[in-house]
Structure 1
Amino acid sequence: MQSKLPVKKTVTFADTSEIQGAVSNTTIPYDYLVFAVGAEVQTFNIPGVREHACFMKELEDAEKMQRHFMDCMESAAFPGQSTEEVKRLLHMVVVGGGPTGVELSGELHDFLEEDLRSWYPELAEHVRITLVEALPNVLPSFSKQLIDYTESTFKEAKIDILTKTMVKEIKEKSVVLQMPDKSIVEVPCGLVVWAAGNTLRKVTRDLMGQFPKAQENRRGITVDECLRMAGTDGSIFAVGDCTATSYAPTAQVASQEGAYLARLLGQIAKRDELEQRVEALAAAPDVDKQELEQSQKRLTKLNKLRPFKYSHQGSLAYIGSDKAIADFPLFNGNLATGGVATFLFWRSAYLSTLFSMRNRTLVATDWLKVKFFGRDVSRE
């Protein structure tokens, strides 16, 4: 997507699919633009990340990671592999101790215990999962008691947590780590999954570059209290991970921003329509003063846009072994809970946020299939 803002008020799209039609580019005009392109993976310019690590940003990233994981298992099972090579292939390193990294580590553990242990009993004991985090602890947005609970659960599951540890380089068969004592250690591994943060997409940087005075925040697009992009005439709105706000880059924030913006755009549509009506009434030779006055009062009300206010509903994360943690705001404090019951609540909350009964049925059916028949690891 290439923006032609704000002079022309148009957006140009390009077809980048493998099979392109006769028209590969199109330009459309807009009255109001909602910019919600999200973010891409932040690599911090660390050597080897893009070449050798798997990401967890898009669906194809997850599919690639699953293929790589199964390749490691099957290669380790190949006759004649040395014990040292088997241990390397079966060492899975997850970089990033946020919810994505923690949930992925828990899911890998479940995959091992619920499926791979019966398929590869001779290899199961060699599988090792390591979670690397540069901060002093994992899940920094959660309460300390839940962090401690997660760490103890991971310890029971034999998932290693390396905090205060930085990745310096990722090689084809190893990852280079800077340990808390500043020593450099090269750790052999078969798979590295990178879940260490987001950065702006190029299209976002290009858009911000057209408003250099108003858009100086490197974290993302600066917006006002109504989610309008700073420096514009109010016709461009930005929501989600592409913006620089005080809110966490989570689906919960983006969902509330989207619902707010839908209501706001409905109000703006009524306002714009009423503005045209007022202009027509004022220009009419036989002006109906009473109707004009009433329309102007309604227009004044519609011009008052309520600012966006985020309501934090709590944080949830799955930590493996049919356990989850939850941190909910409660009066002036918080309610922290974890365990199997929280896992069931996590699943019910997940289902309730899906958009349609069709999607809820499909997801619930998939969960049941995994529970009774195991995970589908069939190859293409």
Structure 2
Amino acid sequence: MVLRTPSAAFAAASSRRSILQSTIHSSPRSLLIRRPQSSSLYTFPLQSLRGRQSQQIQIQSPLRQQTRRITNLSEPKNEASSTVATANPVAPKKRFRALRFIWRLTWLSAVGGMAYLTYHIYDSKHPPEQLPADPSKKTLVVLGSGWGSVSLLKKLDTENYNLVVISPRNFFLFTPLLPSCTTGTIEHRSIMEPLRHIIRHKKRAVKYYEAEATKIDAERRVVKINDFSDVKGSVSETEVPFDYLVVGVGAENATFGIPGVKEHACFLKEIGDAQQIRKKVMDCIETATFKDQSEAEKERLLHMVVVGGGPTGIEFAGELHDFFEEDLRKWVPDITDKFKVTLVEALPNVLPMFSKALIEYTEKTFKDENISVRTKTMVKKVTDKNIDVEVTQPDGTKVKESIDYGLLVWATGNAVRNVVRDLMNQLPPQKNSRRGLVVNDYLVVDGTEGIWALGDCSATKYAPTAQVASQQGNFLARLFNSMAKTQAIEEDLYNLDQQMQAATNEDEKARLNAEINLKGRSMSKIKQLSPFEYSHQGSLAYIGADRAVADLNWFGGAISSATGGELTYIFWRSAYVSMVFSLRNRILVLTDWLKTKAFGRDVSRE
């Protein structure tokens, strides 16, 4: 080893600095100073003593007392100021542009979605101040809280009316998902939207009475209502006057006069019905597994019978099959060989509103799932343990049978409510109607003025479905909004006419005349409201085992498609989530589906 004195080391360092400076003066380029054991890169500018632009010296290791290798890099020739390349003069290739774009788009979408969700939640929880009732406005009374009535409330501009809503239930029920509540796939509160959440966000304050309409007096223009309060313990009756009335009370379950149906069958129309079915399913299972139960009694208790081959009956049968296959078979293995589901339909096939291909697909799927489908089978009598049926054979002969059951669900059709039947008896044009209130093309009840009907309580050429009722509600909202605008313009025209008669100046008369013509044209446009015309979007039904069927119409019926299977099931779910009225309910339904997928359905009795 060679030892140097401090003066010698200082002289050597000064010599190296002199060499570096002379190199810079001779060729002002970027210099690369490399230390053998280091790959760190440092850059600093140097000012040329010859007056050139500042260059960059790239140093790959700190200056230390050791030998360094100096490498000159090429200098750009045609630019006065330039950035000199690094050790690799070729720029790195730009990779993964598409992935970076997708990541940024996803990130921005997530931020925007969270912002929208936060605003929507805040807005829904903080309703604005409302205008008080205006005695100069007309009183509009709406009966019911179903699809038709709630669609009307959503779109109606309440600033133009004093609105009163009367319904025995203070919530809207999303009925297409009601069969899912019977087995715990979805909790019942996830498909309920309180009416208060809807009416509290309207411009003018809305009166709501939780009561049942018992009589409509068309001549006196009043509605009699009963308050069935559990707190009061008694029934109180009162009257509500109206200028305009919308009847949307729906329909009740049709029993077709068959003995024993009301006493022994479970219906599927309200939340209470779904809760009753859920309890009774588990009651039958727990009773069947009770000690010393006979084999015949076990088979009866574990036989679930569904009467009605429409969408409601089909979806309930599918949900019941999923409940058994995914949960009951695992937690109650004793019932594996005896649990059975039977669907009874009086018509030749199930789902009569669907295409033939989808009907065949549904029946084949039910056969694969061991769900017995008995068509051309009419129920004649119902007891607490069996139903008497009449089966039409292929040769036309009829055979009577008795079918034992543990649970009987009745999902067959609609019947007219008493309040609707009473109004029909008051009006001569309604005497021959059997389905409900006969209405014209604008949904005005025949024989009345200022009374409209929509939904299942009206008799139209369309099927009594939720889709029809929803479109009728939207139509009436546009009608009432147009009526209010027309009335306002008519008042303005009357005032302008009065001013026209009192005016003496020709210029003032010309101005008033032009304004009258303008408002007249505006009123003619508003009055051009076409009659109600139903636009069928299609039909959906869940058939179990993560499969669904869809008969859809596109572009106003120009294109139709019939599909079935697992992809259709995904579409079925997405369509129903999008149709749920509020963001709150959409989140609750999605959460219930995820919870069921992760943890299964609850097999508790309550």
| Correspondence for 2:594 | 368
Report the CA distance between 1:21 and its aligned residue.
8.9
Residues 97-116 of structure 1: pairs in structure 2 closer than 5 A = 97-116=309-328
Report the CA distance between 1:133 and its aligned residue.
0.4
Q: Distance in 2 between matches of 1:338 and 1:27?
A: 51
| Correspondence for 1:326 | 550
SS, match of residue 309 in structure 1: coil
Tell me if 1:168 matches 2:384: no
Q: Distance in 2 between matches of 1:90 and 1:22?
A: 41
State whether residues 214 and 418 of structure 2, in contact with CA within 8 Å, keep that contact through their aligned partners in structure 1: no
Tell me if 1:273 matches 2:485: no
SS, match of residue 67 in structure 1: helix
Report the CA distance between 1:91 and its aligned residue.
0.6
Report the CA distance between 1:370 and its aligned residue.
1.2
Aligned length: 379
Report the CA distance between 1:248 and its aligned residue.
1.5
State whether residues 215 and 231 of structure 1, in contact with CA within 8 Å, keep that contact through their aligned partners in structure 2: no
State whether residues 387 and 402 of structure 2, in contact with CA within 8 Å, keep that contact through their aligned partners in structure 1: yes
Report the CA distance between 1:8 and its aligned residue.
2.2
Question: Which is worse superposed, 31-40 or 357-366?
Answer: 31-40
User: Which of residues 294, 298, 302 in structure 2 aligns to 1:90?
Assistant: 302
Residues 1-380 of structure 1: pairs in structure 2 closer than 5 A = 1-20=213-232, 24-181=236-393, 182-214=398-430, 216-233=432-449, 235-284=450-499, 286=502, 288-329=512-553, 334-380=560-606
The alpha-carbon distance between structure 1 residues 260 and 25, as it changes in their structure 2 partners (threshold 3 A), is same
Q: Distance in 2 between matches of 1:302 and 1:332?
A: 29
The alpha-carbon distance between structure 1 residues 302 and 23, as it changes in their structure 2 partners (threshold 3 A), is farther
Q: Distance in 2 between matches of 1:313 and 1:39?
A: 23
Report the CA distance between 1:304 and its aligned residue.
3.2
Q: Distance in 2 between matches of 1:336 and 1:82?
A: 46
Report the CA distance between 1:271 and its aligned residue.
1.3
Whose RCO is larger (CA < 8 A, sep 6+)?
1
Q: Which amino acid aligns with 2:592?
A: D
| Correspondence for 2:25 | none
SS, match of residue 496 in structure 2: helix
State whether residues 215 and 230 of structure 1, in contact with CA within 8 Å, keep that contact through their aligned partners in structure 2: no
Q: Distance in 2 between matches of 1:373 and 1:325?
A: 26
Q: Which amino acid aligns with 1:270?
A: K
SS, match of residue 392 in structure 2: coil
The alpha-carbon distance between structure 1 residues 159 and 23, as it changes in their structure 2 partners (threshold 3 A), is closer
Using the size of structure 1 for normalisation, the TM-score is 0.95
SS, match of residue 338 in structure 1: strand
SS, match of residue 438 in structure 2: coil
Report the CA distance between 1:265 and its aligned residue.
1.0
SS, match of residue 549 in structure 2: strand
The alpha-carbon distance between structure 1 residues 215 and 263, as it changes in their structure 2 partners (threshold 3 A), is farther
Question: Which is worse superposed, 307-316 or 91-100?
Answer: 307-316
Q: Which amino acid aligns with 2:530?
A: R
The alpha-carbon distance between structure 1 residues 58 and 228, as it changes in their structure 2 partners (threshold 3 A), is same
State whether residues 455 and 468 of structure 2, in contact with CA within 8 Å, keep that contact through their aligned partners in structure 1: yes
SS, match of residue 421 in structure 2: helix
SS, match of residue 291 in structure 1: helix
Report the CA distance between 1:214 and its aligned residue.
4.3
Report the CA distance between 1:128 and its aligned residue.
0.9
SS, match of residue 63 in structure 1: helix
Q: Which amino acid aligns with 1:135?
A: L
Q: Distance in 1 between matches of 2:233 and 2:332?
A: 47
Question: Which is worse superposed, 306-315 or 276-285?
Answer: 276-285
Question: Which is worse superposed, 364-373 or 286-295?
Answer: 286-295
Report the CA distance between 1:213 and its aligned residue.
2.4
State whether residues 216 and 419 of structure 2, in contact with CA within 8 Å, keep that contact through their aligned partners in structure 1: no
Spell out, residue by residue over 1:101-132, the C-alpha distance to the aligned partner (whole angstroms, 9 max, x if none): 11111011011111111121111220111100
Q: Distance in 2 between matches of 1:262 and 1:81?
A: 59
The alpha-carbon distance between structure 1 residues 22 and 275, as it changes in their structure 2 partners (threshold 3 A), is farther
The alpha-carbon distance between structure 1 residues 23 and 269, as it changes in their structure 2 partners (threshold 3 A), is farther
Q: Distance in 2 between matches of 1:194 and 1:37?
A: 21
Spell out, residue by residue over 1:268-295, the C-alpha distance to the aligned partner (whole angstroms, 9 max, x if none): 1111222233333334552644433433
Report the CA distance between 1:226 and its aligned residue.
1.3
Tell me which structure has the larger Cα radius of gyration.
2
SS, match of residue 568 in structure 2: helix
Spell out, residue by residue over 1:228-273, the C-alpha distance to the aligned partner (whole angstroms, 9 max, x if none): 111112x111111111112111111111111121111111111122
Q: Distance in 2 between matches of 1:18 and 1:256?
A: 35
Q: Which amino acid aligns with 1:343?
A: Y
**Unaligned residue ranges in structure 2 (runs of 5+):** 1-212, 504-511
Spell out, residue by residue over 1:68-124, the C-alpha distance to the aligned partner (whole angstroms, 9 max, x if none): 111110100101001111000111110000111111110110111111111211112
The alpha-carbon distance between structure 1 residues 151 and 229, as it changes in their structure 2 partners (threshold 3 A), is same
State whether residues 91 and 190 of structure 1, in contact with CA within 8 Å, keep that contact through their aligned partners in structure 2: yes
Question: Which is worse superposed, 355-364 or 24-33?
Answer: 24-33
State whether residues 224 and 239 of structure 2, in contact with CA within 8 Å, keep that contact through their aligned partners in structure 1: yes
Q: Which amino acid aligns with 1:249?
A: P
Report the CA distance between 1:297 and its aligned residue.
3.6
Report the CA distance between 1:212 and its aligned residue.
2.1
SS, match of residue 319 in structure 1: strand
